[in-house]
Structure 1
Amino acid sequence: MKAINPYTGKICGTYPRHTEKEVHQIIGKVDLAWKSWKTSPFSERSKLMIRLSELLIEKKDWLSELITNEMGKVRKEAIAEVEKCALVCRYYAENAEQFLAREEIKTDASSSYVSFQPIGIVLAVMPWNFPFWQVFRFLAPALMAGNTGLLKHASNVPGCALAIEQMVEEAGFPANVFRSLLVGGSEVKVIIENPLVKAVTLTGSTPAGKAVAGAAGSVLKKSVLELGGSDPYLIMGDANIEEAARLCAASRLLNAGQSCIGAKRFIVMDEVYDQFKDEFLKQMQAAVLGDPMNEQTTLGPLARTDLREELHQQVTQSIRLGADLLCGGFLPEGEAAFYPPTVLENVSTGMPAYHEELFGPVASLFRVYSVDQAILIANDTVFGLGAGIFTRDMEMAQKLAENGLEAGCVFVNDFVKSDPRLPFGGVKESGYGRELSLVGIREFVNQKTIVLK
């Protein structure tokens, strides 16, 4: 299994794959570890999770460099990702016991309550775009709940997968409480079907989610899916346009646009459309492409050249069908998988830019003449992950957020981001179930009813 630096185009690591026999041997060891881990006190789990949090901070320079080398993330963003992983570890170390405390319910029995018990091995199928954060937002609650974890990471970030396993081991967790499997996507179904694996969580594309959900459903195992997104941002006539343009561009360019919850469609009221367009273009074109290890760089390469080719095809096909190109939209020369900040307008139905997720620094602008039209376009998608609203009218924004926009989360006057304290997930083809917060840690436990008479 090879990791290729998307900036240099050179191999930065080669790792032996696990054989099918090795995979099932590892699964057996992880199940054996669960037998004792599930009875460990919260105090022990918390102590180890806090140590893991500390280790992430201590080694963030090495870990962030690994992230940047394997998938091209700008170094300062990679450091922030590792720091966020440390935060989620500490959050669950401090709150898991409370989140999983028994809940008393009054009935005609002398005592009745719900007890939250670990279920066993949880398999995580994770993507390359946030190679540490996506894993840790599963790992921290799963282990704190008393489950054990298996990671099938994306094939282009094997070094990250093994580094996470190493961090867990160095923190002092019992052997085999968390293991990484270096296997391809075709082997996921067999892993899910192993009777020792009790549930699966996936972050990735909608097709991958459907495949994993089907495999889990065929053997009646719980699944949680966080899939693609085409997040709409509504720019109202009373918005602070300069601030809105700055935050919208920041969301679109974060991680070189390779984010499920990155802003992708900008739906702008007619009276401020031209002003927003000018400010937004200024912000997008100010991005500095270059070596992701350089502190001056703000936009790194895409993770792979094939992903860049696919993105460019979506852009060029949209232009052929009538979209107007305002900036970008070309393939730079050189080995690096760069794609320039790109903005399209006059996007309409039938175009890839209207219907598909564009996983890169490409934005689509829509001019609208009413709030109803804005909501109609925002919801005219198979996705429903996040959404944003920029306005000074908080009463209207709250109504639209609660009852208008079809999304798992809506942010007003800010771009969408995940937070350990808040539930995170989507609706429609953006998936189901929730990660993070109290809700997330309860996804993979047995919510057991106990009645004593």
Structure 2
Amino acid sequence: MSFESINPYSGEVIEQIPNWDEQQIESALAQAASAAPVWQSTPLEQRCAIVRKAGELLRRRKRELAEMLTKEMGKLITESEAEVEKCAWVCDYYADEGPGFLADEIIASDAGKSLVAHQPLGTVLAVMPWNFPLWQVFRFAAPALVAGNTGLLKHASNVPGSAHAIEEVFREAGAPQGVFTSLMIRASQVAKIIEDDRVHAVTLTGSEPAGRQVAATAGASLKKSVLELGGSDAFIVLEDCDLDAAVKVAVASRYLNSGQSCIAAKRFIVVEAVADQFVSRFKQAVEELQLGDPMDPATTLAPMARTDLRDELDQQVQRSIEAGAEPLTGCSPSDITHAGYAPSILDHVKPGMAAYSEEFFGPVAIVIRATDETDAVRIANDSPFGLGGSVWTEDLERGERVARKIQSGATFVNGIVKSDPRLPFGGIKNSGYGRELSKLGMHEFVNAKTIWIG
């Protein structure tokens, strides 16, 4: 078996890499175990300098890495460049803020001195997806490595080039052998890695079924896990919003990365008072999107990453239409690109339809009409997912009030839902548990050790 990278625009096979055998896996685990105590004892300032250097290398190689991302998983070249830059930002952020996050916390008690020390757990396994091949990894790796952990990466099978590039960046930045290693393994081999005594924690970004499997294995092994799973984010449009602004962000939020984002707006919950106006303007803007070559600056919608993902999405769309959803535009595959799907909108979506309860991971917007604010909140929370969401209103106090009622890890008022190194990121319900980014993200993979001195 091999890892195969296929250009989603042209269908060209870019790279094939053989799956690792048991000897290669054992060598990687042994190297990580050997590197762990050395890396933990490396001065924090030096660890920060290496992560900062990784950010510098990302910026220096931005165009090269962006072209690799676009060819390997299909996103627009401008989106790829932005992803590389964001990875450099997270390296800078933790190089700057990590020492403060890891500083001892002095706590008053009956001791002469008592404190909490933040110490690395050891080796963390990261199981990462293909949709943001660099960002998903760096947002885990930057804080984990600064904290003194070593990292093992099991990347998605269709982005082997990204997996190797990340390892190269850290090695060139000065990380010793074994501090960060990309494993060329299959999903079926992950459980054995988690169970290995040389691995101390696991983080996964991916599907709900994959999350359940990883959580079960980690739990049985009594190891810490962080899961960022699927999402079906609500985009609530209230009657007093700026419709022009809401429509503009609605298009960006749904069709960025060809809609292949956990925090993309997926369910557009619009109150009846402005539903027709919003849908009309939204449809017009969506129909102006241009599916095509993601390397072409004129292209505004990228192909999907793989044909099997496109076909799965289309099956969900067709099941929803058969159940009564109204196809406003698109709603079918496109032969303009190898793995293309037309920019699509389903209107009048109701309970019982696939579009109401399932995550649609592609360029399909779901419109659900609500009677009023109370009904919109009810619909937003009537979902097994709880990752992100947004509220659109010109009354900011109202927006905050509604945001507090939404069951999610993050809710934005009058803004696109996004991850930011300064803010914690993660979900509730079937969207997972734990947090990435910010101080909370760094503390997920440290031992908060109490030290009491009489």
Give the TM-score of the pair, scaled to structure 2. Answer: 0.99
Identify the residue that residue 413 of structure 1 maps to in structure 2.
Answer: 414
Distance 2:133 2:424 in 1: 20
Instruction: Return the letter of the residue paired with 1:175.
Output: Q
8 Å CA contact retained: 2:291, 2:336: no
Q: Deviations over 1:287-310 (max 9, x none)?
A: 111101111111111000000000
8 Å CA contact retained: 2:249, 2:416: yes
Instruction: Return the letter of the residue paired with 2:450.
Output: T
Distance 1:368 1:335 in 2: 36
- Matched position secondary structure for 2:430: helix
Instruction: Return the letter of the residue paired with 2:26.
Output: H
Identify the residue that residue 290 of structure 1 maps to in structure 2.
Answer: 292
Identify the residue that residue 83 of structure 2 maps to in structure 1.
Answer: 81
Stretch deviating more after TM superposition (2-11 or 87-96): 2-11
Instruction: Return the letter of the residue paired with 1:342.
Output: S
Distance 1:25 1:199 in 2: 19
Instruction: Return the letter of the residue paired with 1:389.
Output: V
Give 1:159 deviation, angstroms.
0.7
- Matched position secondary structure for 1:131: coil
Distance 1:409 1:232 in 2: 11
Distance 1:193 1:24 in 2: 13
Identify the residue that residue 389 of structure 1 maps to in structure 2.
Answer: 391
- Matched position secondary structure for 2:115: strand
8 Å CA contact retained: 2:391, 2:413: yes
Q: Deviations over 1:33-79 (max 9, x none)?
A: 11111011121011111111010000011111111111101111001
Distance 2:403 2:432 in 1: 19
8 Å CA contact retained: 2:293, 2:337: no
Identify the residue that residue 213 of structure 1 maps to in structure 2.
Answer: 215
**Identical positions, percent:** 52
Instruction: Return the letter of the residue paired with 2:321.
Output: I
Distance 2:394 2:233 in 1: 21
Q: Deviations over 1:109-157 (max 9, x none)?
A: 1001100000100000000000000000000000000000000000000
Give 1:400 deviation, angstroms.
1.5
Identify the residue that residue 141 of structure 1 maps to in structure 2.
Answer: 143
- Counterpart of 1:256 (choices 251, 255, 258) is 258
Distance 2:130 2:27 in 1: 26
- Counterpart of 1:49 (choices 48, 51, 61) is 51
Task: Give the alignment of 1:265-344 within 5 angstroms.
Answer: 265-333=267-335, 336-344=338-346
- Counterpart of 2:10 (choices 8, 11, 25) is 8
Give 1:335 deviation, angstroms.
5.6
- Matched position secondary structure for 2:152: strand
Give 1:373 deviation, angstroms.
0.6
8 Å CA contact retained: 2:409, 2:427: yes
Distance 2:210 2:426 in 1: 16
- Structure 1: gaps (5+ residues): none
Q: Deviations over 1:218-251 (max 9, x none)?
A: 1100000000000001101110001101101110
| Count of matched residue positions in the alignment of Structure 1 and Structure 2 | 452
Stretch deviating more after TM superposition (5-14 or 225-234): 5-14
- Structure 2: gaps (5+ residues): none
Give the TM-score of the pair, scaled to structure 1. Answer: 0.99
Distance 1:63 1:439 in 2: 29
1:31 maps to 2:36? no
Identify the residue that residue 195 of structure 2 maps to in structure 1.
Answer: 193
